[in-house]
Amino acid sequence: MDLTTAVSAPSEAPSEAPSEAPSEAPSDAASSASSGAPLKVAVILGSNREGRFGPVVASWFLGRAAGHPDIETELIDVAETEPPATGAALVAPRLARADAFVVLTPEYNHSYPAPLKNLIDRHFAEWQAKPVAFVSYGGISGGLRAVEHLRQVFAELHAVSIRDTVSFHNAGALFDDLGVPKDPAQVDGAAKKMLDQLVWWGRALREARTRHPYGG
């Protein structure tokens, strides 16, 4: 199993009897950032190939994420966003309301799937100033070459990629018939570490966007 891990003075009162003006109610974004509300994390399943292994990995990951108290997940499956003419308008608001992303990607021909690139390229502002983490799977490389290509793409979109990843090499042999990892300790620990980092970056960037809207 291939696991990659890293880490002013007040104004003068008027002559009349003073009255205190009500403070402006915070916006939803400001309230969310200041209250420490759970991060909204969009988990993107990046393959639509027939017979794909991605749903097995997605099911495992969503189960691990459900146990993390600081995040709420929503699955976005590229297979449900194609063709773009019908899927683009539906997925854009889901990406926009996310505070952070986790991309689940296989490795096809030394890189990541075309439908995933299509989904990424159809949007721009939705990715900006938000963190992106990766869970990859594949053959001997564990999908890590796909992840390295995705880091370059998301950097161009002004997103911040998380250093630590979870990767499965020869993924099909690592899960039992019920989709449970045969050696859960390592992958569960790697997932927790990655999610902890995603929460740190997600909160920091959510607060920063609230205080100073990003103008990239």
What are 131-146's pLDDT values in tens digits? 999 999 999 999 999 9
pLDDT at 8 over 70: no
What are 36-72's pLDDT values in tens digits? 899 999 999 999 999 999 999 999 999 999 999 999 9
- Omega before residue 84 within 30° of 0, cis: no
pLDDT confidence of 90, banded at 50, 70, 90? confident
Mean pLDDT of the 9-30 span: 40
Ramachandran class of 143: left when φ > 0, alpha when ψ lies in -120 to 50, beta otherwise: left
Mean pLDDT of the 70-76 span: 97
Question: 29: which DSSP letter?
Answer: H
pLDDT of residue 216: 66
What are 119-172's pLDDT values in tens digits? 999 999 999 999 999 999 999 999 999 999 999 999 999 999 999 999 999 999
Mean pLDDT of the 175-195 span: 96
Contact 48, 115 (CB under 8 A): yes
pLDDT of residue 35: 56
pLDDT at 10 over 60: no
Dist. CA 185–CA 188, nearest whole Å: 5
Residue 75: CB atoms within 10 A of its CB come to 17
pLDDT at 17 over 50: no
Mean pLDDT of the 7-18 span: 37
Contact 83, 142 (CB under 8 A): no
Residue 213: CB atoms within 10 A of its CB come to 10
Dist. CA 137–CA 168, nearest whole Å: 5
Q: Which two tokens stand for residue 136?
A: 């990859």
pLDDT confidence of 82, banded at 50, 70, 90? confident
Question: 80: which DSSP letter?
Answer: G
Looking up tokens 């009349």, which residue turns up? 16
Within 13 Å and on the Cβ side, how many CA atoms surround 157? 22
pLDDT at 16 over 70: no
